Amino acid sequence: MLDMPLSRRHMLGGAAATAAAGLVGGVSQANAKAPMLNRPAPAYYRFKLGTIEATVVSDGPLSIGPASRTFLGPTGDEIGKMMSDQFLPADNVVLDQNVLVINTGDKLALFETGMSSVKRNDDMGRLVANLKQSGIDPKDIDAVIPTHAHIDHVGGIMAADGSRNFPNAQIYISQADLEFWTDDKRLGTPGEGSALAAKKNLLPNRDRIVFYKGGQEVISGVQAMDTPGHTVGHTSFVITSGGKSLFVVGDLTHHAILVGKPRMEVAFDTDRKQGVETRIKVMDMLAAQRMPALVYHLPWPGIGHFAKQGDGFRYVASPMQMVL
């Protein structure tokens, strides 16, 4: 091996020499120009889980403001350092919204719905358009299964114009969450936005809502697990097919810094102490069982594993399957 120490000056000099050589050879950079495409990558990702065909579809980014307003306990400087260590700004946390669709061969089920009826800007509320881009017709959805009734999870059941985005679907949700978030007691509180979204999206569909209990099979191959704290009826799901399993986490954790420091409280949690307890319990289980998880708000497409690390955990993103 040649001993060739490099410096920034050497690299810049080499680049300049390469450019000059191109001009001397009679081929200018101008002749090689191609038009800018100005098209984003497709907003869906498809993979197999046993015999299930699964697709993650984006509803778009969700900005939630300063990290210190969401993650409670550490000082602002400590939160800033955690964000900086992730190469992220602390002044505005941006979350992904990773909606999962599974085709079991018998049912086409959607987990979470995004924010089309309550979107704050045109970057979000894109689920329906992105479903169509992925080849899925929203009219074919049989089951809509939000993990809970917060604004970004039920806000896409309806469209902005008041029509149903999934007109042929039954909606599966915990009775506790439906009753809590459609109660007028939530109005005038920090949870008012979610309450208004629940009223707008759940109440017009009351005749198609099905309740379940923890431990029950919601649809074939999908088992509910009570994971309260973030909301009173927050529910996670274990999807199983062909000896393979995937855990739908919901909002037990929102961000990489919360994975590393799971004892931080979260401002959005209805019961913050219970939220911490549930978060650690579930991540312990997932780490011990080495079960992959789909996390709604972690970086796209939100599929990976949790592993123990010190007093917390680390999240290891799963390699994307480019061939089905």
In eight-state DSSP terms, residue 184 is G
106: left (phi over 0), alpha (psi -120 to 50) or beta: alpha
Question: Do the beta carbons of residue 305 and residue 293 sit within 8 Å?
Answer: yes
pLDDT of residue 324: 87
Give the pairing type, strands 108-111 and 143-144. Answer: parallel
Q: Around Cβ 36, how many Cβ atoms within 10 Å?
A: 6
Cis peptide upstream of residue 301 (ω within 30 degrees of 0): yes
In eight-state DSSP terms, residue 300 is T
In eight-state DSSP terms, residue 38 is -
Q: Does residue 199 have a pLDDT over 90?
A: yes
Question: Do the beta carbons of residue 117 and residue 201 sit within 8 Å?
Answer: yes
Give 202-222 pLDDT, tens digit per residue. Answer: 999 999 999 999 999 999 999
Cα-atom radius of gyration of the chain, to the nearest Å?
A: 23
Question: Do the beta carbons of residue 249 and residue 229 sit within 8 Å?
Answer: no
Domains of the chain: 43-317 (3.60.15.10)
Residues 6 or more apart whose CB falls under 8 angstroms from that of 53 comprise 46, 102, 103, 324
Q: Does residue 48 have a pLDDT over 60?
A: yes
pLDDT of residue 23: 47
H or E, element range at 267? none
Q: Does residue 182 have a pLDDT over 50?
A: yes
Give 219-244 pLDDT, tens digit per residue. Answer: 999 999 999 999 999 999 999 999 99
Question: Do the beta carbons of residue 200 and residue 157 sit within 8 Å?
Answer: no
pLDDT of residue 13: 54
Q: Does residue 171 have a pLDDT over 60?
A: yes
Q: Does residue 2 have a pLDDT over 60?
A: no
Q: Does residue 18 have a pLDDT over 80?
A: no
Percentage of the chain lying above the pLDDT 90 cut: 88
Q: What is the mean pLDDT of residues 282-295?
A: 98
Percentage of the chain lying above the pLDDT 70 cut: 90
Cis peptide upstream of residue 74 (ω within 30 degrees of 0): no
Q: Does residue 302 have a pLDDT over 90?
A: yes
pLDDT of residue 236: 98
pLDDT of residue 30: 57
Amino acid at 210: V
H or E, element range at 205? none
Amino acid at 147: T
H or E, element range at 312? strand 312-317
Closest by CA to 203, choosing from 126, 117, 321, is: 117
